[in-house]
Structure 1
Amino acid sequence: MAGGAAINVFKFNTGGLPKETLNWKLWFAVFAFGLMGAARGVDEGLITGVFNSHAFKQSVGIDDLGKTELASVKGTISSMVQLGSVAGALFAFVVCDRIGRVWATRQLCVLWILGIAIFLGNNGSMAAVYAGRFIAGLGIGQTCVVGPIYLSEISPAPIRGLCTCMFTGAVYLGIMLAYFANWGTSIHMADSYNRWAVPTSLHLMFAGIIFLLTFFQLESPRFYIKQGKREKALEVLCKLRGLPATHPYVLEEITEMDFAFQEEMEATRGMGWKGLFKEILGIKRNAYRLFLTNLAQNMACWSGGSAITVYAPDLFKLVGITGQQQSLFSTVVFGVVKFVAAIICALFLVDMAGRKRSLIIGIVLQSIAMFYIAVFLNLVPIAENSHFEPTAGQSRASTAAIAFIYISGVGWALGWNSGQYLLSSELFPLRIRGICSSITMAMHFICQYAVNRALPEMLLENGLGPHGTFYFFGVVSVLGGVWVWLFVPEAAGRSLETIDKMFDLPWYKIGLYGRKFAEEYDREQERIYTDEKKEAGVVVSHNETA
């Protein structure tokens, strides 16, 4: 099969891949489309620093609000990008399937730049702040659909996890640079317009770079297959693989794409849009895939990982960091830790250890961290208490709580933040991949909007309180880990077309037995292929003798 064993990065064993497939065109495409992850990362890393600028609050007239009212406005501003991203994610499948992955990237960059420009030029108008962040969200929301789909479609199966995780790595690159920008401007700039506008310009830099890089990229061969342009698909595939059209690896890969798409088309011929939704919801295996990916988004967001990223400066203060600059510096370290964890995950876990094992390792780390922080905040009254003087033991416990925030970031990077994108980009058949990925990413941003909007008020004493919030995140993390172990299938090293075979099993067996079932299918297909070659050889030999 065109899948093959996952690559061993330590020995760089190519897992059966022809060496020509690991060429500069592939890695350049992975870099260009993986960089889209920075869109989400930059926003998550920047917005709390922007909001904590007194100049920003004064310019939009919210500097004199009470604690509860300020928490509400903060939640709304922070989550407005997520609200726009819901619409952006749903719109992405239309442009992705109509105009292709490359042109979809160009138009989302335009929306992203337009929204940030309106936000920067708000001139004291809260309406412009909301509108700008919403429009930016229309572009940012599409990145989480277009980027992972393209990366999964162009990547050879043994390194698909590595390539798709470049997107999540870029999320943390964006977060890290945003944290550095907030910290640097807090040290070197007075609290004026430039204090929050200069970091925000990171959005424009990334959007501009990605837009320019698209003019040097090839369209996805699977998009051309869907458009009925097989020759163009083969031409692009040859360029991406660095192999001629007659090479067995290329022929097998293009044949798999052809066969899978023709099989889908035969099953849904003449149904149109109504048939497309009927195919998603009316065919049990497809409905279950959509259920899996959407429940994964809920579990991921409500485990608290993304919310900690957005509100990191405030949460470090809760566990004992004092002073604005010290809090921002702690977020810089947090960003570096998460970025390194994402690189480790991409290189050594998702393809070698497998998606499922990596996901569970990350969730376990995150759960332990959440419960420690919850217990600490429950026992030590340090949160929102500037007059509290901790004992030596409590100070050590506070240091440990700070460390566990870092550990939660490592867990999030290894687990849910990588897993949620891999699941949505790998599990769906070609015909419905775009729309199902869009629906899944819309759910992702709905959940992100909800948790980012809710967290400032959850932390208040009339909400769950600081310790109650972390207990909540810990419980969701544990439930998510159990669910992943029982129900999420392992797709490492499998081609996108053969992943479909796992869903021939009953839904309650897919998570535990799906990979074994698919491997048995592969062996059977290999045996049939070998027998056919032997029979063909016998026929040729007989004809030559005659």
Structure 2
Amino acid sequence: MSDSTRNLDACKEASPNVSIDSLRKKYEENSDVNPLTSPPPEKKSFRSRFRFTADTSDHPPEIFNATLYLSIFLFGLFGAARGLDEGNISGNIANPSFIARFGLNDKSKTKDQLANLKSNITSMVQLGAIGGAIIAMKSVDFLGRVRAMQFVCVIWIVGVIIQITSSSVGQLYAGRLIEGLAVGQTAAIGPVYMSEVAPSPIRGLANCIFAGAVYLGIMLGYFVNYGSVLHIPTHTPQGGINDKQWRVTLSIKLIMSGLIFILSLFISVESPRWLLKKGKAEEALAKLSKLRRLPTDHPYIVAEISDINEQVMSERDAMKNSNLFTFFKQFFTSKSIAYRFVFIAGATQLLGQWSGANAVTIYASELFALVGVKGIDKLKMSAVLGVVKFVSAYLSAFFIIDILGRKRALYIGIAGQMCCLLYYAIFLTVVPQAAHDGAVIVGSAKRASTGALAAIFLSGTFWTVGFNSVQYLIGAEIFPLGIRSFAQSLVMILHFANQYGNSKALPKMMIAMNSYGAFYFFVGVLAISLVWAFFLPELKGRSLESIEEVFTLPWYKLRRCNTLVPDHSQIHKIRYTNSRAGNTGFDHIQYDLEKNKPSSEFVEDLMQRTSNDAEKEEDEKKV
């Protein structure tokens, strides 16, 4: 059986209500199109080849619509959960009332004890997030992407309320741990949904919406902290600790979680891929039609549902009677899955989290102090850093990841981040006195201090261009549908485990290795990352289903995958043309005649089998 036959066979099973009579008519009307007399493919101008946005010219313009963008926006906003916590806790550990309430300046504690207390508070969400990612192994597939998101919002709200009412470190730990259970699931739900619903030309952009929302959250957290310290006094009129100063900073989390939950009731559309995986073919077709704003019998919908269902069918037998154990087993028995998990998705998390970016985000106010920024200005600089990361994350999303590609974005980001952190490390080595309280630095040291401050900002910019752009995207697009959400959950366990380890380790690293030693370590990790990035496959513009073919190549050929393994999916045989006439019966829609247009015999077979199904259904109704 040919690939085309299998694809359309899959389409038939996925969309039994497509009008076969209309399909027959359209095919017969256009089956005499001769590729030798058909108009040649339109040549792309210099301007269209060198562009600043993703190339969507081959796709029907209807598929890029408000329904799709609102769904992407909502799931993308989910990324703010982690960012809000990082920005919030980064400011709170420098907030006078928070410090006083939870004993972060307790003179009876040693330097190591205070560092341990601080790292416990900051990293508790990351610890909980590991548990959240484990829960997501089952919840995302069991509940579906939309219901899982609503479930997470409820957990998030509970965790934040516990924190707001905290008066002891123990209760604060509990609230942050529960919030972590929610945050860990967001990183499994959001990227998987984005990859499944976004058309291939903007899949990178969609995932970067999620990654960029992390920095929206960080920016909001930084500004709320800065505003609370600026306008709310540290002490009450009676001289006690004014807990409102830090409690009000947590309210932004309640607003965000409530907003996402409410909007999910109205504007979210369930993933058609998940619905097909669960055997809900008619609902999957309806949801895909809604997301693409095309009729169910449109060639683009037929091709996409065919590609999805072909993968579902090929995996169905292999995944029959599967459970968590069989899922885990694949990571050890399948060389392809193991390589993807360990050397691509896993390495992304390991190298990315130990590249120093997380340290810059969470301990920003302290890193600014090391270059001479003092007092409330530390929080102000942290807020500016939040703006810089937020803007650069979305610039990367719209103008880099789907235009230059994943690998070029990584090269630019890693190289730039490495240079910035190297400069910062050298500054700490040469001008250590800048960190001392009351120190006054002048002349070349002052200019170098300004450069070190800029290096922190620029390192954040390059991080958002490089590792941040791919740390959620890669795991969500390289695994097959049958284990995608499970694999992404495992990847996010690595993500939060490394983030937790990094958050816990940095205060002690800066004591044991000196401040500059920790940053030389980060520079070394980034140097290794540049070599690692060279061997990655470039997946820009490929359909999710065609990615599986890429990993039939040996590891050392993956970087040439676009040359060695062209995208043979049905969706890439459908081309939108400015010429009004198409060869599919739909205006502007051209089926590539050189890429195995389905034969008339198969169309007849498809019609016959669909007719039989319709008769069977009619007989059942009569019974």
Shared fold, TM over 0.5: yes
Shift of 1:125: 1.8
- Whether 1:136 aligns to 2:185 is no
Which moves more between the two structures, 64-73 or 382-391? 382-391
Alignment partner of 1:307 out of 327, 341, 359: 359
Preserved CA contact (<8 Å) 1:118 1:128: yes
Preserved CA contact (<8 Å) 1:268 1:279: no
Structure-1 separation of matches of 2:284 and 2:297: 14
| Map 1:359-370 → 2, pairs under 5 A | 359-370=410-421
**1:50 corresponding residue in structure 2:** 92
Structure-1 separation of matches of 2:70 and 2:323: 36
- Whether 1:470 aligns to 2:519 is yes
Preserved CA contact (<8 Å) 2:54 2:202: no
Q: Structure 2 counterpart of 1:299, which letter? A: L
Gap change, CA 1:392 and 1:269, over 3 Å in 2: same
Structure-2 separation of matches of 1:155 and 1:9: 20
Structure-1 separation of matches of 2:362 and 2:148: 27
Preserved CA contact (<8 Å) 1:7 1:15: no
Shift of 1:360: 1.4
**1:396 corresponding residue in structure 2:** 447
Preserved CA contact (<8 Å) 1:9 1:348: no
Deviation readout 1:450-496 (Å, 9 max, x if unpaired): 00011112112xx111110110111111111210112x211111111
**1:202 corresponding residue in structure 2:** 252
Q: TM-score, normalised by structure 2?
A: 0.81
Preserved CA contact (<8 Å) 2:319 2:482: no
**1:169 corresponding residue in structure 2:** 212
Shift of 1:302: 0.3
Shift of 1:90: 1.2
Shift of 1:9: 6.6
Shift of 1:282: 1.1
Shift of 1:383: 4.8
Structure-2 separation of matches of 1:62 and 1:392: 35
**2:555 corresponding residue in structure 1:** 507
Alignment partner of 2:564 out of 511, 517, 536: 517
Gap change, CA 1:263 and 1:465, over 3 Å in 2: same
**2:27 corresponding residue in structure 1:** none
Structure-1 separation of matches of 2:59 and 2:531: 34
- Whether 1:215 aligns to 2:265 is yes
Structure-2 separation of matches of 1:67 and 1:276: 45
- Whether 1:425 aligns to 2:425 is no
- Whether 1:14 aligns to 2:56 is yes
Shift of 1:529: 6.4
**2:160 corresponding residue in structure 1:** 116
Q: Structure 2 counterpart of 1:322, which letter? A: K
- Whether 1:104 aligns to 2:148 is yes
Deviation readout 1:320-353 (Å, 9 max, x if unpaired): 2122x11111111111111111111101111010
Gap change, CA 1:109 and 1:381, over 3 Å in 2: same
Shift of 1:15: 3.2
Shift of 1:424: 1.1
Preserved CA contact (<8 Å) 1:9 1:347: no
SS in 1 for 2:540: coil
Preserved CA contact (<8 Å) 1:377 1:467: yes
SS in 2 for 1:489: coil
Shift of 1:66: 3.6
| Map 1:335-414 → 2, pairs under 5 A | 335-414=386-465
Structure-1 separation of matches of 2:498 and 2:251: 27
Shift of 1:41: 0.6
Structure-2 separation of matches of 1:101 and 1:32: 12
**1:153 corresponding residue in structure 2:** 196
Gap change, CA 1:104 and 1:533, over 3 Å in 2: closer
Shift of 1:11: 6.5
What RMSD over aligned residues (CA atoms) do the two structures have, in Å?
2.4
Structure-1 separation of matches of 2:49 and 2:315: 30
- Whether 1:530 aligns to 2:598 is no
Preserved CA contact (<8 Å) 2:359 2:506: yes
Preserved CA contact (<8 Å) 1:54 1:63: no
| Map 1:257-272 → 2, pairs under 5 A | 257-272=308-323
Deviation readout 1:397-447 (Å, 9 max, x if unpaired): 110000000110001111111110111111110000011000000110000
**1:293 corresponding residue in structure 2:** 345
Structure-2 separation of matches of 1:7 and 1:243: 27
Gap change, CA 1:156 and 1:535, over 3 Å in 2: closer
Structure-1 separation of matches of 2:390 and 2:565: 33
Preserved CA contact (<8 Å) 2:79 2:211: yes
Preserved CA contact (<8 Å) 1:499 1:518: no
Shift of 1:278: 2.5
Gap change, CA 1:482 and 1:93, over 3 Å in 2: same
Q: Which has the higher helix share?
A: 1
**1:329 corresponding residue in structure 2:** 380
Shift of 1:52: 2.1
Structure-2 separation of matches of 1:535 and 1:521: 17
Which moves more between the two structures, 414-423 or 77-86? 414-423
For structure 2, the residue ranges without an aligned partner over 5 or more in a row are: 8-43, 235-241, 574-590, 605-623
Shift of 1:190: 0.5
Shift of 1:387: 4.8
Identity %: 42
Preserved CA contact (<8 Å) 1:369 1:404: yes
Alignment partner of 2:134 out of 78, 85, 90: 90
Which moves more between the two structures, 207-216 or 62-71? 62-71
Structure-1 separation of matches of 2:57 and 2:539: 15
Structure-2 separation of matches of 1:269 and 1:528: 35
Preserved CA contact (<8 Å) 1:7 1:14: no
Gap change, CA 1:61 and 1:409, over 3 Å in 2: closer
Which moves more between the two structures, 437-446 or 160-169? 160-169
Gap change, CA 1:92 and 1:11, over 3 Å in 2: closer
Structure-1 separation of matches of 2:368 and 2:194: 35
Q: Structure 1 counterpart of 2:180, which letter? A: G
**1:498 corresponding residue in structure 2:** 546
Gap change, CA 1:370 and 1:270, over 3 Å in 2: same
Q: Structure 1 counterpart of 2:350, which letter? A: N
Which moves more between the two structures, 95-104 or 44-53? 44-53
Structure-1 separation of matches of 2:299 and 2:117: 59
Q: Structure 2 counterpart of 1:533, which letter? A: K
Preserved CA contact (<8 Å) 1:26 1:240: yes
**2:231 corresponding residue in structure 1:** 188
Deviation readout 1:14-33 (Å, 9 max, x if unpaired): 23111111111101101111
Structure-2 separation of matches of 1:11 and 1:465: 44
For structure 1, the residue ranges without an aligned partner over 5 or more in a row are: 541-546
Preserved CA contact (<8 Å) 2:371 2:435: no
Shift of 1:532: 4.3
Shift of 1:518: 2.4
